[in-house]
A and B are shown apart, each in its own frame.
Chain A
Amino acid sequence: MSVQTIRNVFSVETGYRLSDDQIVNHFPNHYELTRKDLMVKNIKRYRKELEKEGSPLAEKDENGKYIYLDFVPVTFMLPADYNLFVEEFRKNPSSTWIMKPCGKAQGKGIFLINKLSQIKKWSRDSKTSSFVSQSSKEAYVISLYINNPLLIGGKKFDLRLYVLVSTYRPLRCYMYKLGFCRFCTVKYTPSTSELDNMFVHLTNVAIQKHGDDYNHIHGGKWTVSNLRLYLESTRGKEVTNKLFDEIHWIIVQSLKAVAPVMNNDKHCFECYGYDIIIDDKLKPWLIEVNASPSLTSSTANDRILKYNLINDTLNIAVPNGEIPDCKWNKSPPKEVLGNYEVLYDEEMAQSDGTDRDLRGRPGQPTGVKGSRARDSGKPVLTTWK
């Protein structure tokens, strides 16, 4: 079901009620996670809450940066936070920022700026905008551009990971093992002259597809296992495991952040496309979450991956190929997981917090993860045992 249809299904006006044997592939207010501005809002709120309750997760370092929860680049809403943004911008005037329209996808409408003059129109007291009301000015988010991405073969890339959520409360989510890296076809350069060249900076396949060098055999995509092999060989096993652990951590935290506000309708499940960028210090950053990740394929390998993805997703969401019953306990048996593995299961984490059935294979999640000491002591960040 598309996002628009979901809006209709759940809208108060239509009065449509889903019956027990109907399961849909979106949560009614998924946009809390998938709209760029709301995601950032929710994460900021979540962090403040944890800080208020004194949770060790919200610990900050000497510069006031969160140690464990700093995974979204500094972001502001425009035009609402314009002045806050200007203050931040002036602290680092040579930095580059990326402007993204809140409601669009596939890289549409994105551009980079490195001068305040380039975003004059979003200034709240802008004299040029005369009497345009706030709502008709399209909402944008502006984030600090990560200009030191990890490069492989001199090329920039980002990670696309698929995460299936079957319920938010208790949180139960699965990560697809076969994510992929999307490479830019043109060599990355932070030089300002190339700021306008979208082929250098944006990794969306929708954009790269039109570059001269786009290759239809591999589609500029690498499997995550290739990435892992490369990083282990060139950087070592510990830092690679740490990186992957941090990526899992980010995903779970982002889901936890929106869990309280999500309408946990029992008819719903959702498969999100997470976009993550790794910088050259091997720190992962969450860029955005997509509600309708592209299920079209650009290469033969891609088609197989997407086919399996859909297959495995449906196997988890609707067990045994039977008529679905939304009242089931949403705990699929291990065999149907396919290429998914359990990322976090809140129920299991709470019930047997001491049950560590993991053998020590960091970074290769098998079975229950997240037996994290939520209420006692410091969380072990690097290993999920």
Chain B
Amino acid sequence: MQDPERGLSLTIARVVQRLQGSSLHSQLERQARVSLHKPEIKLESLKEDIKDFLKTSGWEKKLQNAVYSELNVFPWPCHPAAPPEHIKEPLAYMRKAQGSWEKRILKSLNSMCTELNIPLAQKRPANEQKELLNKWNEMGTDEPDLSLFRPVYAPKDFLEVLMNLRNPNYENGEQPSFRNHLGLIQVPLKVKDIPELKEDFSELGLNIGQLGIDDSAQVPPEFFENEHVRVGQKVLAEQDSAAAQQYVRQGCPTALRADLWALILNISNQPEDILYYEQLKSNVIQHNLLVDSLIYKDVKLTASNDDYYFVFEDYLYQVLLCFSRDTSVLEHFTYSSATPPKSYIQGKLGMEEYAVFYPPNGVIPFHGFSMYVAPLCFLYHEPSKLYQIFREMYVRFFFRLHSISSHPSGIVSLCLLFETLLQTHLPQLFYHLREIGAQPLRISFKWMVRAFSGYLATDQLLLLWDRILGYNSLEILAVLAAAVFAFRAVNLMEVTSLAAAEAVLADLSTLKVMPLLQIFLFATVT
């Protein structure tokens, strides 16, 4: 068993290493040096005085937030001798499955490339660069011919892969029978049950105020809402990430949400961040990537047709095109089970010196990818801030929704959690749906992969994403999916085909997320 002391010092060492050399580090140094001129700093007690100064001027808080951010994002080191791939993904068979899935995607991308005879990357001629620069704010009006492009994969292709995941070490000795092969996911991962979820999500309990329930028009605001807003303003004034994360578990008031999320994600939109974004923008202008067309196609197919998000079409291009070129995203691969695809300069196949990651950020977009960005446009209208928020959301949460891993927030665990919850608490419904050939996961998978973006009304979606940030976990997506089925159980019991089941669950736009979650977790008789 891991020695806790050892684990702690390893973590401290890692955090120090990450923050050393960061801009926060140099700012702190500069502040400390400046403080030397202040009268309250005395030579005899230099260290203590500087520490006090940093505390009162709010710099210690910033450091705290940075450390908190690192702890949230990076997993605990399992063992000092663990090789790097264990940090990515401890289970060997999962790593293998992810590897072959990646090979498939890359093959599909390469074949599209050869078929259409378009290079993966190309420098733009000068006049094209100028044109794009002029059009930067209205790329939505561009109508490139995208008919030959297809998305590299869609969620349902990914589901097929997950269904075929098997653990080679797992032999339960039984014949595959009704009792142990109810659902689509067949790997033995540990998932929580309702008592455990109730504990984890205790702030969603019946006797605790929630935005999304206790702020409706029938409830006087003095009961909960006014006080909650006051507390939120205080949290923002203190600029404390950890407090903000705790606070948003009960939901964010709409006016404070943008700032609270930025605080939790530790995004401050410093001049160097804006500069970085501008640099990415100039990369977009100078080079044309094949994935750009995939992004265009995706936006045109999804967000442009969405009642809520069509307005922000141009912002989506501005964010996603830059995202593809952002090499800082490569850092997240140290804790993701995925590996960025490599490509070779023409003619130098296999020679490592000529290998580059393609796309530069290592993430190949799939059908619906742009929906991760769309809801954020309701909160941030300044492109560089919107960009940073999205990037941080991606490297903390969204990447887990389209890679194969055993992480409790990974899509495989979410699927298993969903199926288990449904089987345990709505066995009759589950049995019925299975009998008519409508496996519930086939319907709910797309909701979870997109974190419900595009399926729920935006205000409800934002309340849901509040909780994702607050609990630093995606498990709530599986719980909500099960809660939706529970809500529509009566209608679902009457359908007799997969198509009819899909129809019952086709429109989630009128659902209120928080009451559904609360009832499912805390008010369902088990």
Contact = CB atoms under 8 A, between A and B. Distances in A.
Interface of A: 152-155, 183, 186-187, 212-213, 215, 217-218, 220, 222-223, 225-226, 229-230, 232-234, 236-237, 301, 359-361, 364, 366
Given A217-B305, A233-B258, A234-B258, A187 B137 contact: yes
A26 B308 CA distance: 34
A237 B253 contact: yes
A233 B462 CA distance: 11
- In the complex, which range does the number of interface residues on chain B fall in? 20 to 34
A229 B458 contact: yes
Contacts, number: 69
B141 A364 contact: no
A183 B311 contact: yes
9 contacts: A187-B141, A218-B307, A222-B308, A232-B255, A233-B462, A234-B380, A234-B381, A237-B255, A301-B307
B255 A360 contact: no
B49 interface: no
Nearest to B137: A154
Contacts of B315: 153
B306 A233 contact: no
A155 B254 CA distance: 23
Contacts of A218: 305-307, 310
B312 interface: yes
Interface in B267-316: 304-308, 310-315
A354 B462 CA distance: 39
B304 A154 contact: no
Contact of A187 (B138, B304, B379): B138
Contact of B221 (A153, A217, A236, A361): A361
Contacts of B14: none
B377 interface: yes
A237 B226 CA distance: 13
Contacts of B462: 233
B488 to A, nearest CB: 21
Given A233-B379, A301-B307, A360 B141 contact: no
A229 B459 contact: yes
Contacts of B220: 359
Contacts of A226: 308, 458
B198 interface: no
Interface string B385-414: 000000000000000000000000000000
Interface of B: 137-138, 140-141, 143, 217, 220-221, 253-255, 257-258, 304-308, 310-315, 377-381, 458-459, 462
Given A361-B217, A361-B221, A153 B254 contact: no
A3 B270 CA distance: 59
Nearest to B135: A187
B141 A155 contact: no
A152 B379 contact: no
Given A215-B310, A218-B307, A237-B253, 13 more contacts: A153-B377, A186-B138, A187-B138, A212-B143, A217-B305, A218-B310, A222-B308, A229-B459, A232-B255, A233-B258, A234-B379, A301-B307, A359-B220
A233 B217 contact: no
B137 A233 contact: no
A215 B314 contact: no
Given A229-B458, A234-B381, A215 B304 contact: yes
A154 B314 contact: yes
Contacts of B304: 215
B253 A153 contact: no
A233 B308 contact: no
B338 to A, nearest CB: 32
B465 to A, nearest CB: 12
Contacts of B311: 152-153, 155, 183, 222
A215 B305 contact: yes
A230 B137 contact: no
B114 to A, nearest CB: 33
B255 A236 contact: yes
Contacts of A301: 307
Contact of A366 (B217, B378, B380, B459): B217
Most B C-beta atoms less than 10 A away, residue of A153, A212, A230, A234? A153
Nearest to A227: B311
A225 B307 CA distance: 12
B378 A186 contact: no
A272 to B, nearest CB: 25
Given A229-B254, A234-B379, A153 B141 contact: no
B378 A230 contact: yes
Contacts of A152: 311
A237 B313 contact: no
A361 B218 CA distance: 10
B310 A360 contact: no
Nearest to A157: B311
A232 B462 CA distance: 13
Could you say which of A220, A225, A232, A364 has the most chain B C-beta atoms within 10 Å of its C-beta?
A: A232
B379 A154 contact: no
Contacts of B314: 153-154, 187
Contacts of B379: 233-234
A153 B312 contact: yes
B188 to A, nearest CB: 42
A233 B378 contact: yes
Ranked 8 nearest A-B pairs via Cβ: A153-B311, A237-B255, A187-B138, A232-B254, A153-B312, A236-B255, A218-B307, A217-B305
B221 A360 contact: yes
Contacts of B255: 232-233, 236-237
B138 A154 contact: yes
